[in-house]
Amino acid sequence: MKSLNTGINIFMNTVGGKWKCLILFFLSQKPMRTKEFYILIPAITQKVLTDQLKQLERDGLVRREVYKVVPPKVEYSLTELGQSFVPVLNTMCEWGTTYAVEQNLERQDQICRHHK
C-alpha cells in the first residue's frame, strides 16, 4: 500500500517518535546546549539525541548555532517554523495534564508553560 501524503502523515514523519516533541517543548522554553537536554531528559542516549536534533534541523524546526570559542559552544533553538509549533505543544501538554488528573495518574512535575 502506498503511503498517503496527508497532513497527519507529514506531521508524524516530522515530529513523531518518542523524543522529538519533548525536545521541541524544552526548546520552546529557551535555547539550549546539548548537556542541558541530558539533565531534562536523562533517559535519552547521545546517539538518539544527536539523531533527533539533526532530523529536526533538517526539517527546519531547529537551528544549530556553533560559536567559535574555546571550548566550542553549540546551542540549539527553535526556528520561526519551530515557533509555529509551540501552540500545538501547549495543547498537547494541557491534554496530558487533564488526562493525568482524570485517570488519577501520578505526575512528578508541572512543566507546561504557555507561550503567547
At 116, the pLDDT band (50, 70, 90 cuts) reads very low
- Whether the per-residue pLDDT at 102 is higher than 50: the answer is yes
At 59, the pLDDT band (50, 70, 90 cuts) reads very high
Burial class of residue 49, CB neighbours in 10 A (0-12, 13-18, 19+): middle
Q: Give long-range contacts, CB 8 A cutoff, 24+ apart: 15-19.
A: 15/61, 15/85, 17/52, 19/44, 19/48, 19/49, 19/52
Average the pLDDT over 39-68 and give the result: 96
- Domain ranges in the chain? 7-102
Closest CA relative to residue 64, chosen from 50, 84, 46, 83: 50
Percent of the chain with pLDDT strictly greater than 70:
88
Query: Domain 7-102: which CATH class?
Result: mainly alpha
Closest CA relative to residue 26, chosen from 35, 36, 18: 36
- Whether the per-residue pLDDT at 110 is higher than 70: the answer is no
Mean pLDDT score of the chain: 89
Are the beta carbons of 64 and 57 closer than 8 angstroms?
yes
- Whether the per-residue pLDDT at 38 is higher than 70: the answer is yes
Percent of the chain with pLDDT strictly greater than 90:
64
